[in-house]
Amino acid sequence: MRRLLLALRPLALAVALLAVAAAVAHGADPLPPGGADPALQVPLPGNSQDPGTNLSILALFTLITLGPSLLIMMTGFTRILIVLGFLRSALGTPSIPPNQVLVGFALFLTIFVMGPTFSTINDEALQPYLEKKVDATTAISNAEAPLRSFMLKQTGKSELAMFVKLSRQEAPKTADDLKLTTLIPAFMISEVKTAFEIGFLIYLPFLIIDMVVASTLMSMGMMMLPPAMISLPFKLLLFVLVDGWSLLAQNLVAGFHL
């Protein structure tokens, strides 16, 4: 459990840094020297308060709520979960493994894949910020760089060019000039595209088994017997013989170009 908490610590940092960014963007001091943050003080009846403070609180809680979802879409979680879903469908077991098991498997594989990135964020953004060596803006910039580098490695050139064209902005000269609002959707499309390509390859051997079983049953005149019922044991046998889970996990991790 302690190892899991340590692995999730950089992920929690990114959410916290995004929350601090909201406060900075609205002109609030994230760590006021004289006590509690005024933006977090509850206004009492009869007291006047700047409306901008309420907007800062609203933006803060919005980012805290949406932060985990945004971070999931900025990591390899989407690709891994879609591939696992394709595998379950190809095997013909729509409820085995359960959704909770697939999501947990995808989460821990994502933590493993993103380990170097999270370590860089922890060393260059979280620890300096906690030690008050850098301000919130610098910490956010330092945390953004490793995530940007990871997403650029996984994003296809065609998807990136498409979103740059759709943005109707001048083409960036370097990768650092590329806005996150352009990079993130291009990365998400690339991840879904890659997951579907892997899913196609996963389906092929199981599709062949289904065709052979269906042809055999038809030639024997057993057309009323569902082919899926007969092909399922052969699919499971094939998957076990090739050590499917280890093979799939190995290729998923290797696919992220670590």
The end-to-end CA distance of the chain, in Å, is 25
The reported pLDDT for the residue numbered 43 is 45
Average pLDDT over residues 209-237: 79
Per mean pLDDT, which range of 62-76, 119-133, 149-163, 226-240 is the poorest?
A: 62-76
The reported pLDDT for the residue numbered 59 is 62
- Name the residue ranges covered by the structural domains of the chain: 2-27+75-254
pTM for this model (two decimals): 0.68
The reported pLDDT for the residue numbered 196 is 92
Judged against a pLDDT cut of 60, whether residue 5 lies above it is answered with no
Judged against a pLDDT cut of 80, whether residue 118 lies above it is answered with yes
Judged against a pLDDT cut of 60, whether residue 36 lies above it is answered with no
Q: Which residues contact 210 (CB under 8 A, 6 or more apart)?
A: 227, 228, 231
CB crowding 66-90: b at 16 or more within 10 Å, else e: ebeeebbebbbbbbbbbbbbbbbeb
At 133-192, the pLDDT tens digits run 878 778 778 888 888 888 888 888 888 888 888 877 777 777 677 787 888 888 889 888
